[in-house]
Amino acid sequence: MTADTLGGVWTYALELVRALAPRDVEVTLATMGAPLSEAQWAQARALPNLHLEESRFRLEWMDDPWEDVRAAGDWLLSLEARVRPDVVHLNGYAHGALPWERRPLVVGHSCILSWWRAVKREDAPERYARYREAVTAGLRAAGRVVAPSAAMLEALRAHYGPLPPAEVIPNGRFPGVMPPRAKREPFVLSAGRLWDEAKNLAALRAAAPRLGWPVKVAGDARHPSGLAVESRHVELLGHLSSSSLADWMGRASVYALPARYEPFGLSVLEAALSGCALVLGDIPSLREVWGEGPALFVPPDDVGALVDAVETLRHDDTLRTRLAVRARARALTYTPRRMAAAYLSLYAALSGLRIPEAPPPPPRTRSPLPETPSP
């Protein structure tokens, strides 16, 4: 399995590896993008079925990455020759077109062309023509294609189709990682790079002076160019470890992410597991993942609607608690166990191997949140 070390794919990969352990599946994880942090090494060492192979090759979505993409391909093929895996699971696109022993599984977590369309409201510029060609070739060479939401899968078809057999497998998160608390503190939390146009935290920053509760943002405020993003009216928590972010989510009353582009939204899933009431950008993927009832949705570019939604939750304790309970109930359906079972079915189809039976699920525990009856 491949993974980059710079975002949610790392969390997704480790959750999947952990969930595969009871099925006696061993995973060699080949990382790219940047060296692992000490915290990431510690997370990896805690998984007995994980074997880590680290690299620093640039990723296909970075500026002028193609020499590194080629070199990374040679490295991955050498790993295949040494490890002799039953399945190759790629969490990127371009390497799908390599001459693998078996056609790989390619998972589309996001892409530049769909990002550009959602965020810029126009087609990506011509400088991404090579990227488009590489992604198209990788997807069409796959044995199977997966996306974490139907919205993301439709975007892949629209920009790079037709595709091989494809399906949706939602991401999962272990509930114990983000435990809820009975008491909530009066602040609004969000997470993401403050400069990321997809997360649209600029809208939350613009709304903050009109909100009765303070706004706290976890994530980097410094753009890759080195420039610091204006952060007035919000408290910057900086880059947090998983445990620190869990603590903040456990304390927050509201989690707000007025995203313009979010193919699944792991941070939203974590916030829901933590017992936060959700205010989300009204985009197809987030509507799909959360359905009707567990969240308030606002147009991403309507700051007034964002203010109204957060203020409604601030003033209405009953509604806020009801939404938090519903969000957590929905979040508990996105389990790593369910995710792993779906991937194992694909692994069996790609490899021809019989997958061992799953052990019985652990007993469910009740949420410490107060249960508010539905209307």
In a domain? residue 160: yes
Instruction: Tell me what the pLDDT averaged over the chain comes to.
Output: 92
pLDDT of residue 217: 94
Write out pLDDT tens, residues 76-134. Answer: 999 999 999 999 999 999 999 999 999 999 999 999 999 999 999 999 999 999 999 99
Instruction: Give Cα 305 to chain centroid, integer Å.
Output: 25
Residues 133 and 214 in one domain: no
> H/E/C letters for each residue in 173-199?
CCHHHCCCCCCCEEEEEEECCCCCCCC
Does position 135 have pLDDT exceeding 90, yes or no? yes
Tens digit of pLDDT for each residue in 164-179? Answer: 999 999 999 999 888 8
What's the pLDDT band for 229 if we cut at 50, 70, 90? low
Asked if pLDDT for residue 143 goes beyond 90, the answer is: yes
Query: Same domain, yes or no, for 326 and 204?
Result: yes
Is the Cβ–Cβ distance between 264 and 9 less than 8 Å? Answer: no
* Shared-domain flag, residues 20 and 151: yes
**Is the domain of 160 the same as that of 200?**
no
Instruction: Give yes or no for residue 243 having a pLDDT over 90.
Output: no
Question: Could you tell me the pLDDT band of residue 227, with boundaries at 50, 70 and 90?
Answer: low
Report which of residues 357 and 53 the model is more confident about.
Answer: 53
pLDDT tens digits for range 204-219: 999 999 999 999 999 8
Give the end-to-end CA distance of the chain in Å, rounded to a whole number.
46
> Which CA distances in Å does 158 have to 27, 54, 114, 232, 322?
32, 33, 9, 39, 37
Dist CA 369 CA 181 (whole Å): 7
The pLDDT of residue 283 is above 70? yes
Asked whether residue 219 is assigned to any structural domain, the reply reads: yes
pLDDT at 242: 85
Q: Residue 81: inside a domain, yes or no?
A: yes
Based on C-alpha coordinates, what's the Rg of the chain?
21
Burial 12-34 (b: 16+ CB within 10 A, else e): bbbbbbbbbeebebebebbbbbb
pLDDT tier at 372, thresholds 50, 70, 90: very low
Question: Does residue 209 sit in the same domain as residue 131?
Answer: no
- Domain check: are 279 and 266 in the same one? yes
What does pTM read for this prediction? 0.91
Q: In this structure, are 326 and 345 located in the same domain?
A: no
Q: What is the pLDDT of residue 358?
A: 65
pLDDT score recorded for residue 7: 85
Query: 156 and 38 in one domain?
Result: yes
CB distance 301 to 203 below 8 Å: yes
Q: Are residues 18 and 75 in the same domain?
A: yes
The structural domain count of the chain equals: 2
Per-residue pLDDT, 373: 34
**Domain interval for residue 55:** 2-171+335-351
Contact (CB, 8 A) for 168 and 146: yes
Condensed to tens digits (0 to 9), the pLDDT of residues 338-364 reads 999 999 999 999 998 877 666 666 665
Q: 55 and 127 in one domain? A: yes
Residues 155 and 202 in one domain: no
What are the tens digits of pLDDT across the range 145-163?
A: 999 999 999 999 999 999 9
Both 163 and 263 in one domain: the answer is no
Tens digits of residue pLDDT in 310-321:
999 999 999 999
The CATH number of the domain where 36 resides is what? 3.40.50.2000
